[in-house]
Amino acid sequence: AQSVTQPDIHITVSEGASLELRCNYSYGATPYLFWYVQSPGQGLQLLLKYFSGDTLVQGIKGFEAEFKRSQSSFNLRKPSVHWSDAAEYFCAVGARGYQKVTFGTGTKLQVIP
């Protein structure tokens, strides 16, 4: 069975600082990995995804994530955070041919001036 752990429930960063959100997954085969962002009261928006190939994935809004198989991790990064990045971020794991995706419990990001 797949599982996802986001160890940080809440993170606060200053505007302009760098950001790294952690995600660890458990899956026996090659996973499909996703990061989504959710603003308050909104649906989830896909930031980026990894299926195969280059382990450094670029997404929208200046985000990137790196797949590290040896560490079972898929951490999300942004070099300089903007106030509009304040939201909740969800990591998810799926697999080829598998209809379901397992989501982590989310990390809420607060950005301070």
Partner 1 sequence: SQTIHQWPATLVQPVGSPLSLECTVEGTSNPNLYWYRQAAGRGLQLLFYSVGIGQISSEVPQNLSASRPQDRQFILSSKKLLLSDSGFYLCAWSSGTGTSETQYFGPGTRLLVL
Q: Which residues bind partner 1 (CB under 8 A)?
A: 32, 34, 36, 41-46, 49, 51, 90, 92, 94-101, 103-106
**Cβ 97 to partner 1, closest distance in Å?**
5
Residue closer to partner 1, measured from CB, 52 or 70: 52
| CA torsion angle 26 35 103 31 (round to 10) | -30
Number of neighbours of residue 95 by Cβ within 10 angstroms? 16
**Cβ 105 to partner 1, closest distance in Å?**
4
**Cβ 78 to partner 1, closest distance in Å?**
21
Q: Which of 44, 32, 47, 38 is nearest to 93 (CA)?
A: 32
